[in-house]
Amino acid sequence: MSRKLIIAANWKMNKGPAETEAFLEKFLAAAADLTDQADLIIAPNNLSIPTASALINDVNPSVGLAAQTVSENDNGAFTGETSTDMLKELFVNYVIIGHSERRSIYGETNAQINAKLKKALAADITPLFCIGETLAEREGGQLETVLGSQIKEGLEGISDISNVVIAYEPVWAIGTGVTATAEQAQDTHKFCRSVIEDLYGADAAAAVRIQYGGSVKGANSAELLGQPDIDGALVGGAALEADSFLELIRNAVA
């Protein structure tokens, strides 16, 4: 089963509308040659989504647009939150759910992440469903237990995962410059795929795309994304400049 690469830029709390426009003017034209080979996605801050949406629709609608989180509720008294309907109105077609920063800083639980995944899927927005262990958990021999329960509890009650992308991001590799080795990442991706196989069967496991995230850059994207079970990347720091993000993508698809 061949799985199309999927490479996403998670800008986190960086870039307002002006910087978003400057990045996309450079990136979208250059990305035209690359979207056949990989699904490319930009996840700006919510305030920059309208700017990104307009430019993507004008210049290169094959580039995906993601939010960095979404509410598990439809509308109402949820100060600060954003609904799937609001995202749809701006042509957002992906959403990052369960990023480790949302889990650790804002206390998102597997149950809440499950509710957000269901809400995104009901709105036909593809979730990039993030999982990952801390260094203490890995060193304490809990890697498989932690990832297994994040996957099982996150996907509970979801019968069809054909529109779910998984993003494995070891917490210790995020923003640290320390990447998992290609072998560590491949082994962990293979384990995650085996959990999906237990839950959904061999065909679903062979089809599901699993991104790696954590200090991916131009110098390591080819090796990491060349692993058999690594189907893309979720990129923070190296996706803040159009040139470095393009280099990362070009090296990965080469």
Neighbours of 129 (CB within 10 A): 29
Nearest distance in Å: CB 16, ligand 13P: 19
Of the residues 5, 6, 7, 10, which one makes contact with ligand 13P according to CB under 6 A: 10
Taking the C-alpha atoms of residue 54 and residue 57, their distance in angstroms, rounded to an integer, is 5
Is 189 designated active site?
A: no
| Residue 44 binds ligand 13P (CB under 6 A) | no
The region of 24-32, 75-83, 183-191, 236-244 touching ligand 13P under the rule CB under 6 A is 236-244
Of the residues 24, 70, 117, 216, which one makes contact with ligand 13P according to CB under 6 A: 216
Taking the C-alpha atoms of residue 246 and residue 72, their distance in angstroms, rounded to an integer, is 33
Neighbours of 123 (CB within 10 A): 17
Place of tokens 């995650």: 192
DSSP type of residue 179? P
Of the residues 66, 143, 235, 242, which one makes contact with ligand 13P according to CB under 6 A: 235
Footprint of ligand 13P on residues 166-195 (CB under 6 A)? 169, 174-175
Angle at 162 between CA 121 and CA 202, to 5 degrees: 145
Of the residues 234, 242, 246, 248, which one makes contact with ligand 13P according to CB under 6 A: 234
- Mask: binding to ligand 13P, 125-164, rule CB under 6 A, as x and -? ----------------------------------------
| Residue 40 binds ligand 13P (CB under 6 A) | no
Written as six digits, the tokens of 55 are: 């430019």
- Mask: binding to ligand 13P, 65-104, rule CB under 6 A, as x and -? ----------------------------------x-----
Q: 72, 99, 101, 108: which is the annotated catalytic residue?
A: 99
Angle at 102 between CA 75 and CA 185, to 5 degrees: 130
* SS3 label, residue 181: coil
Which run of H or E residues covers position 11? none
Report CA-CA distances (Å) from 161 to 66, 117, 120. Answer: 18, 10, 12
Which residues sit at the interface with ligand 13P, rule CB under 6 A?
10, 99, 169, 174-175, 213-216, 234-238
Return the active site residues.
99, 169
